[in-house]
Structure 1
Amino acid sequence: MLPAITARRSVFPQFFTGAPVAQQTLEELIEAANFAPSHRKTEPWRFRVYRAGGKEQLKRELLDVYGRQKDDVDAIANKFGKKIDQSGAVLLIFLHRDPQERVPEWEEIVAVGAAVENLWLSLDAYDLGGYLSSPGFVCGDYGAWPGSAANERCLGMFYLGHHAAPDLIRPRGDWRDKVQFVAEN
């Protein structure tokens, strides 16, 4: 049953090997994300891909964003710097709000989520793992980010990389407990 969906899992950066992710692979993953549905075809997903030396820029940007809010900059540099270093690439995920606001914002946020899920479902085909994170300081103040447009907001970070993660059991509750069928007699 839907093997790509049942194979999808979170792989945390501590399991990444540090091996780089090829440019072509990243492009193919983002192409998969681009096939997400969006109402009125607003295609509100945007990605910034940080890899190789670009990961150092991401660390500086994170400190800039975080530094505006907190005093313990060293703690954040260590925590997130390590995850970034362990990753083959890190994608920042943005909502690019339709300038004409033809659809409710929540629909565009859902569309961005669908794009992320498409990307996530594609990782297994490349033997990659990924982890979605939305730390409050990144997405707080509704995701203001250096260099983003007025209609753009950061919704999260997606760490990805080659990995050596163990195959862990991913328990899920029974789907029957989460649905109610309504039918007329």
Structure 2
Amino acid sequence: MEINPEQINELISDRRSIYPAMYTGEVVEQHIIEQMLENANWAPTHALTEPWRFVVFSGTGLQKLGDFQAELYKENSSAKDQFDEKKFQKLKEKPLQCSHVIAIGMKRDPKGKIPEIEEVEATACAVQNMYLTATAYGIGCYWGSGGVTYLEEAKPFFGLEAQDKLLGFLFVGVPKEGKWPAGRRSPVADKVSWVLD
């Protein structure tokens, strides 16, 4: 296998969160979405539990997602007297700005031998694989964890059970021209200690 390390380095450093408002409205080709999911499936996983679970919304499915999360937000916030019409509309309409929205779930190992945090970490690695694949194709995406992500009542809609986790949504779309922002990171030397002797 011959892989140019410099291209890998460039791919990783070029990865960005590209938000739905920055999308053109064009539909991402199906083979790209399928490749993102295939690459997600090769994430590291302790004891091969492969805890990641994805539900992909596109076409009229985007409206179903928007309606579901808006209505669930309304039910929960009205019960607490905290309903916000703007938030309701945002939840309803945000998926429609995207080509695809991928719900990110973590399915708990039924034997419970693997610590939960390791299953979450494995799922996060799978999402990073999707991010990098999207970047390689020039496709924008953004992992959001707002809205209904942490509501227990949301889990069944995404095929998750009580012991599982909904970890957010990967919003995917074709970025508008000039909407790939420059990167910002402080030096890695500020975050690394070396133990040499």
SS of the residue corresponding to residue 93 of structure 1 reads strand
Q: How many residues align?
A: 184
Name the residue aligned to 2:35.
Answer: 28
Partner residue in 2 for 1:42: 49
Aligned residue for 1:160?
172
Aligned match of 2:15? 8
* Cα distance in 2, alignment partners of residues 73 and 163 from structure 1: 29
- CA separation of 1:23 and 1:141: change in aligned 2, threshold 3 A: same
Q: Determine the C-alpha separation between the residues in 2 that align with 1:75 and 1:170.
A: 31
Matched, 1:109 2:116: no
CA shift at 1:153, angstroms? 2.1
SS at match of 1:135: coil
Give the corresponding residue for 1:70: 77
Counterpart AA for 1:126: Y
Query: Which residue matches 2:3?
Result: none
Shift of 1:125: 2.4
Whether contact under 8 Å (1:66, 1:138) holds in the other structure is no
| Residue among 145, 163, 183 paired with 1:134 | 145
User: What's the offset of the Cα at 1:77?
Assistant: 3.1
Letter in 2 for 1:65: L
AA aligned opposite 1:128: I
| Post-superposition CA distance 1:31-78 (Å, at most 9, x none) | 011110000000000000000100111012212432342032632332
Structural mapping, 1:69-108, within 5 Å: 69-71=76-78, 72=83, 74-108=85-119
Q: Gaps spanning 5+ residues in structure 2: where?
A: 1-5
Instruction: Return the alpha-carbon distance in structure 2 between the equivalents of residues 52 and 176 of structure 1.
Output: 45
Question: Structure 1 pair 4/138, CA: closer, same or farther in 2 (3 Å)?
Answer: same
Could you tell me how far 1:100 is from its partner in structure 2? 0.6
Q: TM-score, normalised by structure 2?
A: 0.86
Deviations, residues 78-132 of structure 1 (Å, cap 9, x unaligned): 2123321110000100011111112100000000000000000001222210011
In the TM superposition, what is the alpha-carbon distance from 1:169 to its structure 2 partner?
2.1
Q: Percent identity?
A: 31
Q: What TM-score, normalized to structure 1?
A: 0.91
Partner Cα distance (1:21, 1:149) in 2 = 27
Residue type of the partner of 1:157?
F
* Conserved 8 A contact 2:101-2:170: yes
CA contact (8 A) 1:143 1:153 kept: no
1:8-38 deviation line (CA, Å, top 9, x unaligned): 0010111101111222221111001111000
Structure 1 match to 2:195:
182
The residue type equivalent to 1:76 in the other structure is K
Consecutive unaligned residues of structure 1, counting only runs of 5 or more, are none
